Amino acid sequence: MTKKKLLRALEGEPLHTPPIWLMRQAGRYLPEYRQVKEKAGSFLNLCYTPKYAVEVTLQPIRRYGFDAAILFSDLPLIAQGLGQKLWYEEGGGPRLDPIREAAGLGPLDPGQVADRLAPVYETVHELVKALPDETTLIGFAGAPWTVACYMVEGGGSREFSEVKGWAFRNPEEFEILIEILVDATAIHLCRQAEAGAEVLQIFDSWASILSDTGFRRWIIEPTKALVSRIRVDFPDIPIIGFPRAAGVMYAEYIAETGVTAVSLDTAISRRWAAENLQSKIPVQGNLDPLALVNGGAYLEQEVRETLDRFSGGPFIFNLGHGIVKETPPENVAALIALVREYSA
Ligand code: CP3
């Protein structure tokens, strides 16, 4: 059997037709997802019930034949694995009982993560059996900094004043939280790999809100520690890093962290990324999710430009951020056709 396309790209092979998958490819834009979520009763129940999580992971594979499936789960679940209270408001994002001082760190226990998140690994295990031979299975976690943002703010945020306040006023104390997260996330990702995830992606959605100094301390250092921890048990597993909107700091991120590939956000200069990043490691990205919502000539032009720029080197077609719920499912089919019919 020939090697799976996504794995070939991650090994550095330029492919005439790049592999394609989309961040958040399972989700509310699909009517069949909404149906299963309704059956599950809640988003968290969907995440924690392997039967349902497997089903929604497979939905976009059946419908579109993507080259990769990404485990259906969510980034803040690790906080719950550590012992923090997590819930979802209907139609909204994650909410957590915020931790804003050292006293709140005491109860967090990385030793509990593997047990509390056991259904997630069960989902991975079941997916290995259910996926088509040519489909790569991706496991994922949030990077320590981004998960810390959710844990300290208590959910999403505009200003990130609480997490920055803590990190800037008392970095030694904040570092304890980051160390706990490196530990917990290493366990979480290794368990996914053990259960059969073939590739791991680390989402650092809030990588763009720190200065150079903050970026090195709270993004690069913890990611580097996390990657080396994973490599102890899984020396060869490909790891995709996604320091979203990190701009020129992407270069330092790839030089320092040891990731196999990077995922690019929509706003980065493609020319700069091809010259400075793809010349060193495989890249993934970076179509604007809103171009996919709107379709038409702009979508076609963006897809062609992306392929013209990146298909000469190792490349994985993806979005620059997660798919949004307003996306017409037929636009996703059109996108796949555009990518697969492309010739330079
Ligand atoms: O298909 C996949 O990509 C796999 C599943 C997946 C989800 N979230 C499902 C989800 C993955 C990989 C994520 C990652 C994630 N979750 C990130 C990193 C990527 C990014 O977007 O920056 C972040 C920051 C989160 C946290 C999160 N979860 C937010 C901010 C929200 C609310 C926003 C929204 O789209 O509603 C969620 C909820 C969430 N995670 C949904 C899904 C399908 C929607 C919940 C629902 O169905 O009601």
- Give mean pLDDT, residues 115-130: 98
Alpha carbons 258 and 227: distance in angstroms, whole number: 7
Q: Are 219 and 204 in contact (CB under 8 A)?
A: yes
Backbone angles phi, psi at 140, to 5 degrees: -155, 165
Ligand 1 near 70 CB (within 6 A): yes
Ligand 1 near 203 CB (within 6 A): yes
Give the Å distance between the CA of 307 and the centre of ligand 1. 26
Backbone angles phi, psi at 197, to 5 degrees: -65, 130
Ligand 1 near 263 CB (within 6 A): no
Alpha carbons 58 and 149: distance in angstroms, whole number: 30
In the chain, % of residues over pLDDT 70? 99
pLDDT at residue 91 is higher than 80: no
pLDDT, tens digit, 9 for 90 and up, residues 302-329: 999 999 999 999 999 999 999 999 999 9
- Give mean pLDDT, residues 243-252: 98
pLDDT at residue 271 is higher than 80: yes
For the CA of 90, the closest atom of ligand 1 is 48
Give the Å distance between the CA of 2 and the centre of ligand 1. 33
Residue whose tokens read 């979508």: 299
Of 12-21, 88-97, 178-187, least confident by mean pLDDT is 88-97
Ligand 1 near 174 CB (within 6 A): no
Q: Which of 309, 197, 215, 217 is nearest to 264 (CA)?
A: 309
Give the Å distance between the CA of 76 and the centre of ligand 1. 9
- Give mean pLDDT, residues 200-208: 98
pLDDT at residue 1 is higher than 70: no
Q: How confident is the model at residue 294 (pLDDT cuts 50, 70, 90)?
A: very high
Ligand 1 near 28 CB (within 6 A): yes
pLDDT, tens digit, 9 for 90 and up, residues 150-190: 999 999 999 999 999 999 999 999 999 999 999 999 999 99
Burial group, residue 44, by CB count within 10 angstroms (0-12, 13-18, 19+) = middle
> What is the predicted pLDDT for the residue at 343?
74
> What is the predicted pLDDT for the residue at 344?
64
- Give mean pLDDT, residues 213-225: 98
The structure tokens listed for 66 are: 């993507």
pLDDT, tens digit, 9 for 90 and up, residues 42-64: 999 999 999 999 999 999 999 99
- Give mean pLDDT, residues 127-150: 98
For the CA of 325, the closest atom of ligand 1 is 35
Q: Which residues lie closer than 8 Å to 112 by C-beta, 6 or more apart?
A: 81, 82, 83
Give the Å distance between the CA of 13 and the centre of ligand 1. 30
Ligand 1 near 66 CB (within 6 A): no
> What is the predicted pLDDT for the residue at 6?
98
| pTM of the full structure | 0.97
> What is the predicted pLDDT for the residue at 2?
77
Mean pLDDT for the chain overall: 97
> What is the predicted pLDDT for the residue at 214?
98
pLDDT, tens digit, 9 for 90 and up, residues 18-40: 999 999 999 999 999 999 999 99
